[in-house]
Amino acid sequence: MTDPTSGSRILIIDYGSQFTQLIARRVREARVYSEIHPPHVTLDWIRAWRPTGIILSGGPNSVYDEGAPMAPREILDIAPVLGVCYGMNLIVHLEGGRISPAQEREYGRAMLDVVEPSGLFDGFEAGEQTQVWMSHGDQVAELPANYVPVGRSGGSKYAAFRHATRPVYGVQFHPEVAHSLRGKDMIANFLFGVCRAKPTWTPGAFIADEVEKVRTLVGSSKVICGLSGGVDSSVAAMLVHRAIGDQLTCIFVDNGLLRLHERDQVERMFRANHGINLVTVRAEDRFLSALAGVEDPEQKRRIIGHTFIDVFEAAAKDVGADVRFLVQGTLYPDVIESVSPRGGPSVTIKTHHNVGGLRPDMPFALIEPLRELFKDEVRNVGRELGLPEEMVGRHPFPGPGLGIRVLSDLTVEKLDVLRQADAIYLEEIRAAGLYDDIWQAFAVLLPVRSVGVMGDYRTYENVVALRAVTSTDGMTADWFPFPTETMARISSRIINEVKGVNRVVYDVSSKPPATIEWE
């Protein structure tokens, strides 16, 4: 992952498609740097950015709608262009062709007939049929002058086209989604065959570049990092430590809502194994006192967030008055969502603050070494930095921790029950070789008790619910189908080894309509 100002880079103009981030990820998977920007960026800005190629994303609008997001026609002359769905229709519109509502809309899987096996379809066979993913209600009614069709489908005779002499291409389908079976080949053909891009976006090169940037920025100043033990903050801390060594101090707040042995694991990993200055703040009593009697999940989140801010800020002051910088593990999707770059109907989804929502008036300048990266890229950087797979590949864990997985008021006893059940659950998933097949797995302590029999005695104990889902981005999710023998072993171990539990249930809800977390 080299400095994008010196290597090949693809500019993605976002017209509001739900798949825009996926386009960027597919380009980066091919080791070419890409960035997403809104339609209102100017031609002068684009020229100064010097893109190797430009991709116009899909979107929910029709190009003939009043107020639909547009682009100047001159954008087609700056660099090779690929228009996807709405982006394809926009090219037609800009070049004098005609777009009209389709008589038969295409949504979902469709078969594409390859008319011309070159350019985007280099390596395909003439007449080859390949599955693609369609999502459109408009179609090209008339191609502009000097454009020729290179692919067709049952619902569109111009499912793919190119300019006769210039490197401008359009596709009615979405090559970036997995359902387009050879979509990666088409994207690679655009990147390397059409744009002549170089695959230089690698973890090692990114680390070297960021290390130099951090050293130059920080100089001799001190830096602090809020370390949670999660993937993002861990990789950010390791990267900054490589740059400035003992000038970095990490602050780990034990709020009493962590997983089993988590504090010990973080201390061993960062202090003992990597020699990082680590301050551990034992604040379990403070958090649990503030949360006493609280059941509402939103109120729990607020209390946990506010208490974290107070504890972290006090610890930061203890590090010293000469601390000038704060490290955050902000990722590229956080940046995209926070600045709302879309020109279609998409709006800002959230304002993101990694370190517990720290006050904006804190006297530190931010260092965000991961803000150009997607999650999978962060994991790869972590591997390159020497972090173990059990850390870089771990499942997402909510900021409020187990506080929102106990579905009642919080006590030490309830948290200990949940901690033990969750640890057994994850241990058995790993033992079965299923951990990496699951996006997220966790246990929940329900606010109900049930009758059971253990030995010759009647019991009236807690119920633990288990959740495991598959997903690509967390936006949608399906429940994971465990083998029966694995689920039986998990249930047996929890009931037999965790005192106070006599029943285990499994959540078979998908998102939507359910959420991944219970609270």
Active site amino acids: 85, 174, 176
Contact 324, 223 (CB under 8 A): yes
* Beta carbons within 8 Å of 133's beta carbon, 6+ residues apart: 108, 109, 110, 173, 174, 177, 179, 180, 183
**Can you tell me the distance from the alpha carbon of 390 to that of 304, in angstroms, rounded to the nearest whole number?**
26
* Beta carbons within 8 Å of 265's beta carbon, 6+ residues apart: 229
Contact 255, 305 (CB under 8 A): no
* Cβ atoms within 10 Å of 441's Cβ, excluding its own: 21
* Cβ atoms within 10 Å of 339's Cβ, excluding its own: 12
Q: Phi and psi at residue 218, in whole multiples of 5°? A: -80, -40
* Cβ atoms within 10 Å of 296's Cβ, excluding its own: 11
CA nearest neighbour of 20 among 48, 52, 51, 59: 59
Q: Please calculate the CA angle 382-387-392 and round it to the nearest 5 degrees.
A: 60
Element (H, E) at 180: none
**Can you tell me the distance from the alpha carbon of 228 to that of 33, in angstroms, rounded to the nearest whole number?**
29
Q: Give the DSSP letter string of 475-491.
A: SSBEE----HHHHHHHH
Contact 507, 479 (CB under 8 A): yes
Q: What sign for the dihedral angle of Cα 330, 334, 338, 339?
A: positive
Contact 270, 237 (CB under 8 A): yes
